[in-house]
Amino acid sequence: MKDDIPFNDWSRERIRTHNKICTSRHRRYTSDKRVTWISPRLPYWFIRKYLFREEGANSPEELDGVLFQIYNRVVPEDEAFYVHFGDFKPIASELPSDAEKSSDSSVHIIKSVLDR
């Protein structure tokens, strides 16, 4: 759809292999039907420390590298993002029949971290 969150090749591969359940963006994508929850704005240091795996990275350093490729700069620790959680595989008819929905439990885990 027109207002769906765009993904680069790195992210699409991790979505395909069920390794990416969230994505950090500067604006809220409220019309993307794949999104189940959007966090309040969070600083990059928090995303890097606590959400790098949910973002699909194997380490905080890998996430740094991916964002450097996207923005062509180092993202400062205090730069704020909205973190979108959901099942980002293609919608409806584009989904393979054996596709699994991502668990809502991950959102509850993140909310509990944010509430600390």
- Residue-wise pLDDT tens digits, 27-83: 999 999 999 999 999 999 999 999 999 999 999 999 999 999 999 999 999 999 999
Contact 84, 25 (CB under 8 A): yes
Q: What is the pLDDT of residue 90?
A: 76
pTM of structure: 0.78
- Residue-wise pLDDT tens digits, 13-36: 999 999 999 999 999 999 999 999
End-to-end Cα distance, the chain = 36
